Structure formats: structure tokens, C-alpha cells
Amino acid sequence: MKKILVANRGEIAVRVIRTCRDMGIGTVAVYSDVDRDSLHVIRADEAYAIGPAEPSASYLNIGRILRAAQRSGATAVHPGYGFLAENADFAQAVQDAGLVWIGPDPKTIRDMGDKITARETAFEAGVAPVPGATLTGDLDRDVAIAERVGFPLMVKASGGGGGKGMRIVEGAAELRSAIERASNEAAKAFGDSTVYVERAIRNARHVEVQVVGDGHGQVAVLGERDCSIQRRHQKLVEESACTALTPESRRELWSKAAALAKQVCYAGAGTVEFLLDQSGETWFLEMNTRIQVEHPVTELVTGVDLVRQQIAIAFGEPLQLNPYPRSIRGHAIECRIGAEDPTHGFLPAAGVIERLQEPGGPGVRIDSGVYPGFRVGLHYDPLLAKLIVWGRDRDHAVRRMARAIDEYRIYGVSTTLPFHRFVMRDEVFLAGDANTSFIQERMGHDSLDPAHDLALAAGLAAVLYRQEQAHALEFRPRRERKAESAWWLRHGFGRQG
């Protein structure tokens, strides 16, 4: 474990570098032209340029990343999440170059990355997938197959993710067009036009189970996370534990996740995702063969450093975790703070972070990739930071998160902080009843069709305006200052930009 190259950027690259430092391992960052002054570059021991801003020429360029690893003398590669993290060809290329790949076997990545193969593998492990069917590519036959699955249904890309190559279909009249559009979008985004259909489960909870395996059949389960608050299948708020599970259903869910991880002889940290329907039945959705954006939630309730586990397993150390956690301690919540404008349909925002005031105090953690003066562009995912809190129970965690959001100030670029402030005060969320229809039901319209963005923006603008007005009144000083001292202004407490 002499030196690890982190093939990523932003907060996840900083996160991996920190654990490497804790373990006494050297770190290598890679960066595109626009990321020259990024925080992960500053934090690493070494840094190498890998090309222009376009991801295809830099963070997705396998050859350039491997050349940086060879130049630096790195002995291993950690992919983080996104970019090449679930690219089986990249994992194989790393191993072929004589480097240690910090992740599961390339075959596992390939099999679980193909949603159709993953569904078949889950079925073999005794884990029921969401009811659905594979399409043939013959449009007339596929329409008949989809109609047998029943409406409403989802048309989904086999090799996709992140909401791309996905369409929801309410009835037969929309089916033919939805299959064609999803297939074309999948071909452009993933180079694979294969799509399948899956029953759309309304008002479900999106629950995922964290697993860690040693690649030799030993698997540990580290609880579950509820990721139901999401837009276009992009998660916005995550928490552990899930309030909708009973002790019995929790044990059953954990057993299903462990069975699938053992079926593929999983190595490293991974996540098995499920939908929990209104009857309490759980259905396998997919498996993510990487560290998740929301992994800090699990770390706070278990005390396990998941990145450290990834590294140790990749270098052949035996799994030293119990098959099931001895205890889940308290409750944790994560809010993804993105450079997006929630009052305009979560449109990406750009600009310079002029000033930054991060919250602190007991039980508050921030995983961030930005700093004052950092320029936020539009080339990459808009995630700026993750705000994570821990509390002795859910009510305590929610109050702590609400307080932390109120303390958080990012000047110079629009962020999702107002949205998160709304969520932490919403009665449905407070009751622990939020499901995947939360935004649609509470704020407007959430759809895979961009034509509905205007309705969503209008709904969000209305509720966030009311929330911000109430927040401003709540924190208004008792009497206005006639003048503000130079000290007050110099230390950032004066008029807010």
C-alpha cells in the first residue's frame, strides 16, 4: 500500500485521500484543466494533469489515467463513484497494468452493471426482482411483452443509470413511443440500445443495504439507508435507519442483500438496492458495485470506515467485520448540497464561491470539495458537498440537520440549501412517511419528461418562497442596526450576498 491514485475529483476524491492519510498511504490526484485548483489536487501528495475539461478527454480517458499512475509510481487505483467506477474495462485495464484495483472483480462489475443480468442473478440467489421482462428489439413483439407486464410500467436501459434511458408509461397508447425513445437515448448515453420493462411501483420506499465482502464468500451487512427523496431517480436526502421497516422485515432485507453478495462472491463495498411497496414487500432493483455517495450515513451509525475497508480488502486483508452489525447506533441523515437552483427545476448553477460558512458542532460532518474562491463550472456533476448529521434518534437527527442547514451559507452560486431547509420542516418527512413521490406530491410535478420542469419549478418556487420568508422572520434581529461596524463586515457577518 505504498501509493494510491484516486481516479476521480471533488468531494469523493478528498474523502479517499483522507483515509489514505490515516493509513499512512501516499496519494496521487488527477485533474482536468479546469480542476487545476480543486481541493482534491491541493490535498493529494502528487497531482497529474490528464486533459481538457470534457470528461471523455480526462476523467473518462482510461489511457491518460493509467499513464498518470505509471508516472507517479502508484501501486493501486481507487475509482470513487461515477466516471469509471463501474466500468469493467477500466477495472481490467488497471489489473492488466499490474496495479491493484480497489473494487470488485471486473466480471462482477460487468454482470451487475447490466440490469438484465443483475435481475437474473438476483433470481438465482432467491431474491425477487421487480416484476418485469426483457425486450427483444422487435417493436411489435416488445409492445405485446410490455402489455403483459401491466401498467404503469418503466422502460429502462439495461446498461444505464441515473435516470437516462428511462421512461414511465401509463398506458398502451404511450408504449411504442416510450420504447423507441428510451432505446435511442440508451444507445447515445451508454452505447447499448437494449431496454427492458419493469412494473412501476407507486409510492414506494427506495431502501438500499450496505454490504462489504472479501471476495471469498464472506459478507458483512452494515444496515440499510432510506433514499426515497429523489428527483428523476437522483437521490437528494438519505438516512439510516429506514423508518418503514420492522425488526422482522429488516432482518429479511439484510438476508436478501447478503444472499446476492455471496452469489457473486462480492469483494469490497457495495450496495444492494430495493423498492419497498406499500404492502411491505421488498423487490430487488439493482446492485451498485462501488462506494455510494451516501456512504457517510452508514459510517456514522456503524463506526466503520468504508473506504478503509475497500482498501484493506483490495490488498488481501481478511474481512474483520461481523456478518451483521452488533448494533446500529442512533440515526444519521445526509443532504446533498448541489450547485442547482431548486426554484427553477433544479437547473445547474455556475459561479465563484465568494464566501463559505460551514456548520459545525456535535454530530455534524461535512464532506466537501470546495472552498472560498472555488469556481463552480457546468462540466461535471453539480454536487458541492454533503452535509451529514448524527443524532441519538431520528427526531434528534432531524433537529440537528435543520440547525446545521440554517448555519450553512454559500455565497456566489445558487444551491439546494433552501430545498433541504423545506424538507426538514415538512410534516410528511417529519413523520417518517416520505416515499419516492415526495417531490411530486409535496411540491409540484416530478417527471422524466423535461416538459414538466416548468410546473415543478413553479411549485418549488412557491413553497420555498414561503419557507424562506418564515426563516427570515424567525432569524431577524430584534432591532435593526443603524450601522454595522467594520469588524462585523470584515468577518463576514454583514449584509449577505
Residue 98's CB is within 10 A of a number of other CB atoms, namely 9
- Phi (first) and psi of residue 431, to 5 degrees: -80, -5
Q: What is the DSSP letter of 244?
A: T
Q: Among 188-192, 395-399, 452-456, which stretch is predicted with the lowest mean pLDDT?
A: 452-456
Mean pLDDT value across residues 428-443: 92
The answer to whether 131 and 148 have CB atoms below 8 angstroms apart is: no
Whole-angstrom distance, CA of residue 436 vs CA of residue 337? 19
| Catalytic residue ranges | 290
pLDDT single digits (tens) 175-207: 888 888 888 888 887 778 888 999 999 899 999
Q: What is the DSSP letter of 374?
A: P
Mean pLDDT value across residues 313-317: 95
pLDDT confidence bin for 143, thresholds 50/70/90: confident
pLDDT confidence bin for 457, thresholds 50/70/90: low
At 175 the pLDDT is: 86
Which residues have CB under 8 Å from 131's CB, separation 6+? 149, 150, 198, 199, 283
| Start-to-end C-alpha separation, the chain | 46
Whole-angstrom distance, CA of residue 133 vs CA of residue 147? 10
Residue 336: closest CA among 417, 429, 269, 395:
417
Tell me: pLDDT of 89 over 70.
yes
As a whole number, the mean pLDDT across the chain is: 89
pLDDT single digits (tens) 223-278: 999 999 998 778 999 999 999 999 999 999 999 999 999 999 999 999 999 999 99
156 three-state secondary structure: strand
Q: Torsion angle of alpha carbons 242, 10, 366, 297, nearest 10°?
A: 20
392 three-state secondary structure: coil
Helix or strand run (H / E) with residue 116: helix 115-124
Residue 393's CB is within 10 A of a number of other CB atoms, namely 9
Strand-by-strand arrangement of the 76-78 sheet: 46-49, 26-31, 3-6, 76-78, 100-101
Tell me: pLDDT of 20 over 60.
yes
Q: Any bridge partners for residue 497, and if so which?
A: none
Which residues have CB under 8 Å from 452's CB, separation 6+? 445, 446
- 396: cell is 434528534
Whole-angstrom distance, CA of residue 266 vs CA of residue 108? 7
Whole-angstrom distance, CA of residue 487 vs CA of residue 490? 5
How many helices (H) and strands (E) the chain has is answered by: 17, 23
The answer to whether 40 and 29 have CB atoms below 8 angstroms apart is: yes
Mean pLDDT value across residues 314-325: 86
Residue 353: closest CA among 331, 325, 385, 323:
385
**Residue 368, CA distances (Å) to 6, 110, 158, 341 in order:** 16, 30, 32, 19
Percent of the residues in the chain that have a pLDDT greater than 90, as a whole number: 71
Q: Domains in the chain, please, with CATH?
A: 3-102 (3.40.50.20), 131-199 (3.30.1490.20), 205-471 (3.30.470.20)
Q: What is the DSSP letter of 343?
A: G
Note the pTM of the prediction, 2 decimals.
0.87
> Which single residue is written with the C-alpha cell 419497498?
276
pLDDT single digits (tens) 464-491: 555 555 554 444 433 333 344 343 333 3
pLDDT confidence bin for 444, thresholds 50/70/90: low
Which residues have CB under 8 Å from 73's CB, separation 6+? 2, 3
133 three-state secondary structure: strand
300: left (phi over 0), alpha (psi -120 to 50) or beta: alpha
Mean pLDDT value across residues 371-394: 97
